[in-house]
Chain A
Amino acid sequence: MSLSTHTTQDLLDQLQSGQLTSTELVTTCLDRIDAHDERIGAFLHFEREPALQQAAEIDRRRQAGGTLGALAGLPVAIKDNICANGTRTTCASRMLENFVPPYDAHIIERLRQADAVLLGRTNLDEFAMGSSCENSAFQQTRNPWDTERTPGGSSGGSAAAVAAGMTPLSIGSDTGGSIRQPAAFCGVVGMKPTYGRVSRYGLVAFASSLDQIGPFANDVTGVSRLLEVLAGHDERDSTSIDRRVPAYSQNLDQPLDGLRIGIAKEHFVEGLHPEVEQAVRSAVDVYRSLGAEIKEVTLPHSKYCVAVYYIVAPSEASSNLARYDGVHYGFRAEKFDNMIDMYSATRGEGFGDEVKRRIMLGTYALSAGYYDAYYLKALKVRRLIRQDFDRAFEEVDVIASPVTPTPAFKIGELIDDPLAMYLTDIYTISANLAGLPGVSLPCGFSSEGLPIGLQLQAAPFEEERLLRAARMYERETDWHTRRPAMNSNSAS
C-alpha cells in the first residue's frame, strides 16, 4: 500500500473495517522512513519495535472486537519538543540531548487514549526558534519538494514527514508560524488552534503566551480528525480553556452559507512574491465563485507584528530557558571553576547561536530601565493588534492571506541574515499575538514547482467554521492531492 494515494479518512475507514491493520500501516511508514529519511532528515529519532508493538496491540484489540479510540491505530509523528514518558525529548538542542521526561504531555495522553501509534520524533529548530530547521543542533531537514530547500520551521520535521509520505499525521507547535509556515513550504495542511484550545502541559515552553500545539495532515479532514483528539480542557494548564470541543470533522463537507471572506490590504505589500500573491488571489476567486462575499478589512497595527513578536517571544524565552543551567538535568559543561562559571559554561556550550541571540534580546527587554519601553509597550501594542482582529471579525468570518512572503527558500540563503529570516513570519505572527486559530492549506505551486500556502484565520474558538471554510476550498481544488516525487536516488 502507499500512503501517497490515501487520505487520513481512507486509512481510518480501512483500519476500522479491518481491511488494513495498524501493523501494516506502521510498517509501511517505518519502511518509508528507512528508505527516504537519510535524505530528508525529518526524524531525529524513532524506534521500530515500540511502534510495531503498539500497533500489534491495537490490532489484537480490534480482532477481539474491542472498541478502539478515534485514531484506531493511525501513526502520528511528534515534534521533539513534546514530552512523552520514557522517550528522549531533545528540542533539537545539545542542552537536552539525553533528556528523558518522566511524564507524558497532555496531548501524548490524549493520543495514547485515541489509539494513535507514536511513530517517532521529528526535527525542529532548536527549542522551536527558527523558520528553517537550520537551527537544529543535530541535523538539517530538507524539503521533500526540493532538497536544496528548507522545509520551513520550526516544525519542519513534522511537515516534511507528512509531505514525504512517512506518516499520515504529525504534531507540531506554533509560536509565530511554526506549524503554518512549514505546512505551506511542504504543501501539506497545518493548523494552529486558538490559544487555550489545546493544553500546553508537556510542551517544552518557548514563549508561553504564544505557544500552541497543532496538527499536520495531507488534507483538512485529517487535520480535523487529529484536532478532535488534541483539543479540550486540561486542569494542569491554567491557560487551557474549559469549552466544549465540537466534532470538527462531522459537518466538514457542508459548505458555509453566506461565508464572508476578509482580505486585508496590509497583507499584500512589498516583499510578497508575485506568484504567492497570484495563488492567494486565485484562491479568493474560488471562494467568490462559491458564493462567498469578499470584503476588504483593515488591520492597521499589523505593521508592528514582527517588532512586538520579537520583544514578547524572546522575553518569555529568556525566562523559560533559564532553567537549563546544568544543575538539575540536561547538559552540564565539563570544565568550570565555580558555580557561576558552571552556569555560563553550560549555557555557552549547550545552546546554539539563535537561542543565545533570543535569550539576550529577551534579557535586555526585561532589564530594569528597559522594561517599560520594550516589554510593557509591546504588550500594549499586542492588545491593539488583537483589537484590530476583533473589529475585523465583526465584518467577516475568516481572513484569507498568504502564509509566507515566498515559497521555500534555500538552505543557507537567510541563515546569516536573522532579520530577513524573522520577516518570513510576517503573515503568521499576528495569529499568535492575538491568540487566533489559523490554518495553512495548499493553494498552488510556484514556477519552480514549490508549494504555496493559503492562510485562513478566524475569531478565537471558531475552529469549526475555519476548518469548514478551508474544506470548501479544498473540495474545489486538487493542490492537496499532489505529492513530491520521492525518488530515493535523487540528489540531495
Chain B
Amino acid sequence: MKVTTVVGLEVHVQLHTRTKIFCGCVNRFNPDAPNTQTCPVCLGLPGALPVMNQEAFRLSLVTAMALNCELARFTKWDRKQYYYPDLPKAYQISQYDLPFSHDGWLDVSSEDGETRHIRINRAHLEEDAGKNTHDESGRGGDSQVDLNRCGTPLLEIVSEPDLRSAAEAKAYLEELHLLLTYLGVSDCNMQEGSLRCDANVNLHIEQNNGETIATPIVEIKNLNSFRGVEAAITYEADRQQEEYSKTGRKLGDPGVEKETRGWNAERNVTFAQRGKEEASDYRYFPDPDLMPVTVSDEQLAEVRGSLCEFPAARRDRFEAEYGLSKYDASVVINQGEKFADYFESVAKGCGDGKQAVNWVTQNVLRELNERSVTVADFPIPADVLAALLQRIVNGDLTVKSGREVFDELLSDHDKGMPPSIERISAIIDEKGLAMLADTGELDSLIDATIADHAKAVEDIRNGKLQAAGPIIGKVMKQLKGADPQTVRERIIERIQQNS
C-alpha cells in the first residue's frame, strides 16, 4: 500500500511598507503599546474610507514577478465579510475573483536532490486583522483586542497541492522565505508573525486493486515556524492514515467536508477547531470605496527593472562562474543575500571560488555561529579575507598559516584593532609564516636531516612513504611557515634523486 502525502500551502506575508495598506498609520510590530498605531480608517470608525498604499501594491508586483506569476492588468478589491472582534469593520478588504496575480511557480530542491516545480495558484493582496488576546488563567477575564496590526499589508501566496511530503513543504517554505528576504519585501520574522502559513493536507493511498483513494482534506491553521510546518504535516499524515484505517472515510464521501485543525506546538499535535469559517458564507462583493486598479506596461517595466537577482538564478550562476558544487552554492545562497554578497566579493578578490567557498562556509560560518552575528557584523571585511586567500592561492602562504592569520585578525578585532590588509603582512612577519621562496635553504636542511635518518631513507626508497613522517617533523620544527605538503614532496623527491 503506497501512501503519498499531498500538501498545498497558503502563505501569508506581511509586506514591509512604511505605512499600512489603506491608511497613513505606521506599519510596525508593536505589541507592547496596543492600539497606539491606529486611526479612524484602520479602527473602522463610521465615515472613514480606505486609500490604497501604492508601495504595498508595488511590493506585491515584485513578489509575484519573482514567483513567475501572470500579472493581471485589471484587478479589484473585494470585501470578505465575517464577524470577529479583531476585525473592526466586520469585513476584510481582500481580493476574490480577480487577484492581481495568478499561475506562477517556485522551484524547490527536494531531499533526493531533485528539483521540484511547485505551482503557485495565485497571490493576492489584503489587509491583516488585529489581534485578540484571551485570558488564559481560566478565571474568565475579559478578552482584549489590539488593532496595531490591523491594516498591515498582507500578501497571500497560495500553492497548488504539489508538495509531496512534510520535508518538501518545509523546503518550499524555506525557499519562499529566502526569496522574500532577497526581494526585501518582508522582514519575514516568523516569531513576530510576518510570515505565517496554513497547510492543506491529505493522503493519496494506493489500494491493492491499484486504485488510489484520497483522504478528506484538512487545513492546519496558523503555522509559524519551519519546524512547525514539518512537524504538523508529519503528525497530520499519520493521524489521517490511522483515521482512514479506522473509518475508511475518504474525500467525496457524503457528509465529508474540509476540516480545519489547529496546531499545538507544545504537545506536537493537531486538534479539531470549530473554525469561524465553518459553514460560513463570506458574501464577497466588490468594495465600493476603492477604485479597481489598472496596471500599465510602464509600471510593469519599472518594477521588472528594479528586480534583484533571484536566489535560484544566483545559485546557478555561482556554480557556473565560480565552479562551486551544487551543494556549496546552496549553502552560500541559503545563508541569505548579504552572505552570498560576502562570498562573491571574496571569490572575486582572491580569484579562486573554491578556496573562497571553503573559507566562507567553514571558517566564516563557524565564527558567525559562535559569535551569533550576521555577516554584516563579521569583523573581517570581504576585501581583507580576499587578500589573505590570495596569498594562499599564490602559494605564498599555507592553508594552515592562513588559519593562524585569520584567527589573529579576529583576536585583533576583539582587542579593538580593526582587521586590515596591512595587518595580514604584519602578522605573517611577526609569526614568520612566510613560505620560503628560496628552496635552497629548504633543500640543504632536508639534506642534512636525511643524512641523520638512514633507516627512514631506506624505507622510503622501498616505497614506504609514511616513513617520511619523522623527517618532515624535524624539518618543520626548524622551518616555520613551511607547507608540510611541500616539505613532504621535497623530501621524497630529494631521496629519490639521490638514489
The residues of A with any CB-CB pair to B shorter than 8 Å are 82-83, 89, 91, 96, 99, 101-103, 105, 200-205, 207-209, 235-239, 315-316, 318-319, 322-323, 325, 327-329, 339-340, 343, 363, 366-368, 371, 375
Contact = CB atoms under 8 A, between A and B. Distances in A.
Given A238-B52, A239-B289, A316-B288, A328 B43 contact: yes
Contacts of A367: 281, 283
A110 to B, nearest CB: 15
Contact of B47 (A204, A207, A315, A329): A204
Contacts of B145: 327-328
A208 B286 CA distance: 11
A91 B46 contact: yes
Interface stretch (B87-95, B353-361, B364-372, B406-414): B87-95
A204 B44 CA distance: 11
Contacts of B91: 319, 322
Which 9 residue pairs are nearest across A and B when measured between Cβ atoms? A322-B90, A209-B288, A208-B288, A366-B283, A204-B46, A202-B47, A83-B47, A368-B281, A204-B47
B48 interface: yes
Contacts of A322: 81, 83, 89-91
B284 to A, nearest CB: 8
Contact of B45 (A91, A101, A368, A375): A101
B31 interface: no
B90 A325 contact: yes
A103 B43 CA distance: 12
B50 interface: yes
Contacts of B47: 82-83, 89, 101, 105, 200-205
Nearest to A203: B47
Nearest to B88: A328
Nearest to B50: A238
Contacts of B285: 315, 319, 366, 371, 375
Nearest to A199: B49
Contact of B46 (A205, A238, A327, A366): A205
A200 B289 CA distance: 10
A237 B49 contact: yes
Listed residue (B88, B90, B91) with the most chain A CB atoms within 10 angstroms of its CB:
B90
Interface in B277-313: 281, 283-285, 288-291
Contacts of A103: 40, 45, 48
A34 B227 CA distance: 72
A101 B40 contact: yes
Contact of A236 (B51, B85, B288): B51
B46 A101 contact: yes
Interface of B: 40, 43-52, 79, 81, 83, 85, 88-91, 145, 281, 283-285, 288-291
A188 to B, nearest CB: 25
A294 B165 CA distance: 76
Contact of A238 (B44, B89, B284, B289): B289
A89 B290 contact: no
A209 B286 CA distance: 11
Listed residue (A83, A204, A237, A319) with the most chain B CB atoms within 10 angstroms of its CB:
A319
Listed residue (B79, B83, B291) with the most chain A CB atoms within 10 angstroms of its CB:
B83
Interface of chain B: mostly helix, strand, loop or mixed: loop
Listed residue (B49, B81, B89, B291) with the most chain A CB atoms within 10 angstroms of its CB:
B49
A2 B50 CA distance: 44
A323 B89 contact: yes
B290 A323 contact: no
B45 A329 contact: yes
Nearest to A322: B90
Contacts of B49: 200-201, 236-238
Contacts of B44: 323, 328
B224 to A, nearest CB: 24
7 contacts: A101-B40, A209-B288, A238-B49, A322-B89, A327-B145, A329-B45, A363-B283
Nearest to B52: A238
Given A238-B290, A319-B283, A328-B88, 7 more contacts: A102-B45, A200-B47, A201-B47, A235-B51, A323-B44, A366-B284, A366-B285
B288 A327 contact: no
Nearest to B51: A238
A339 B274 CA distance: 14
Contacts of A99: 46
Nearest to A368: B281
Contacts of B52: 238
A208 B47 CA distance: 10
Contact of A368 (B43, B48, B283): B283
A328 B49 CA distance: 17
Nearest to A328: B88
Nearest to A210: B288
Contacts of A200: 47, 49
Nearest to B43: A328
B48 A201 contact: yes
A207 B288 CA distance: 9
Nearest to A376: B285
Listed residue (A236, A315, A329) with the most chain B CB atoms within 10 angstroms of its CB:
A236
Contacts of A89: 46-47
B88 A323 contact: yes
Contacts of B290: 238
A209 B49 CA distance: 12
A82 B48 CA distance: 11
Nearest to B41: A236
A207 B51 CA distance: 18
A96 B289 contact: no
Contacts of B283: 318-319, 363, 366-368, 371
A366 B88 CA distance: 20
Contacts of B85: 327, 339
A205 B52 CA distance: 19
Listed residue (A203, A204, A327, A366) with the most chain B CB atoms within 10 angstroms of its CB:
A327
A373 to B, nearest CB: 14
Contacts of A236: 49, 51
Contacts of B40: 101-103
Contacts of B284: 366, 371
A363 B85 CA distance: 20
Listed residue (A200, A202, A318, A323) with the most chain B CB atoms within 10 angstroms of its CB:
A323
Given A83-B47, A96-B46, A105-B47, A323 B291 contact: no
Contacts of B79: 319
A90 to B, nearest CB: 10
Contacts of B46: 83, 89, 91, 96, 99, 101, 204-205, 323
Contacts of B289: 205, 208, 238-239
